[in-house]
């Protein structure tokens, strides 16, 4: 997933937010592999952080000068990924990463 999001990074207004998500993703993958957390718990933690990152992005965008251009599709898809349903058993696998 980290490699899959690399092309999105330069399109984001704040790529450091994706970096934070991917750092957690890597840490959680190691924990799942070591069987110290479940895949469901991993999904819950990713969803929570993703939600926090979107809130932070929104706050930063509010403070930045307005850019009237529409964000690229990849940016929109990243923003819509890992919704609350990803933290539930059988989550929406189409948007859960």
8-40 pLDDT, tens digit per residue, is: 899 888 999 999 999 999 999 999 999 999 999
pTM: 0.70
Burial (0-12, 13-18, 19+ Cβ within 10 Å), 21? buried
Hey, what are 25's tokens? 């993703």
Spatial separation of the C-alpha atoms in residues 54 and 78, rounded to whole Å: 10
Positive or negative: CA dihedral 70, 74, 76, 79: negative
Please answer whether residues 3 and 70 qualify as being in contact, where contact means their C-beta atoms are separated by less than 8 angstroms: no
- Pick the residue with more confidence: 13 or 90? 13
Question: How many angstroms separate the CA atoms of 40 and 37, rounded?
Answer: 8
């Amino acid at each position: 997933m980290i490699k899959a999001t690399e092309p999105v990074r330069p399109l984001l207004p704040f790529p450091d937010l994706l970096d934070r998500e991917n750092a957690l993703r890597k840490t959680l993958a190691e924990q799942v592999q070591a069987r110290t957390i479940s895949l469901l718990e991993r999904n819950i933690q990713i969803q929570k952080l993703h939600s926090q990152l979107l809130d932070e992005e929104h706050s930063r965008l509010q403070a930045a000068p307005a850019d009237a251009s529409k964000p690229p599709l990849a940016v929109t898809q990243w923003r819509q990924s890992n919704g609350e349903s990803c933290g539930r058993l059988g989550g929406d696998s189409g948007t859960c990463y």
